[in-house]
Amino acid sequence: MTSAAQPNKLIVIVEDDVDVRETLAEVLEEEGFQSKAFSDGPQALAWLSACQTPPALILLDLMMPTMDGWAFRAEQCRTGDLQQIPTVILSADSNIAENSEALQVAGFLRKPIHMQTLLNLAERFCGPPQLKPGG
């Protein structure tokens, strides 16, 4: 990824739970946002490192088996380009606020996630959604 690349309006989802991952992607797509979902951190990092234009936002689950959110964040922060991508953590933990401060992320979404909360966040980082024709 080139450091001068302008962010597109893509939202990257890093979430191991298939139901959460697919539902987040479906909600975003239904409401006019683009997304790309990964089931683990290494896949997501590999794609992010290779993409030409950084996404507008990363939604990052904290509790994942292969590489948890903490390890992902550490790896992300080692790479200058990736570090600049706004990241929001997803977690069911009651201390998610403290974790988000410790991880120095742009925000957090506490599970279970409600649709409007997700959409407000998406619009905050990606701008207004692209509405479907006739929708």
74 contacts another protein (rule: CB under 8 A): no
Q: Which of 63, 60, 22, 20 is nearest to 43 (CA)?
A: 60
Structure tokens at 27: 């909600």
**Considering the rule CB under 8 A, would residue 112 count as an interface residue with another protein?**
yes
101 interacts with another protein by CB under 8 A: no
CA-based radius of gyration for the chain: 14
Both tokens of residue 114? 């409600």
Binding segment toward another protein, per CB under 8 A, in 6-14, 48-56, 69-77, 114-122: 114-122
DSSP state of 133: T
Least distance in angstroms from the C-beta of 36 to another protein: 18
Q: Is 102 in the site for another protein (CB under 8 A)?
A: no
CA–CA distance, 74 with 78 (Å, rounded to integer) = 6
**E strands along the chain, which residues?**
10-14, 34-38, 57-61, 87-91, 107-110
For another protein, which stretch binds (CB under 8 A), given 44-52, 72-80, 89-97, 125-133?
89-97
Measured from the CB of residue 3, what is the shortest distance to another protein in angstroms?
34
Per CB under 8 A, residues contacting another protein are 17, 19-20, 22-24, 26-27, 30, 63, 91-95, 110-115, 118
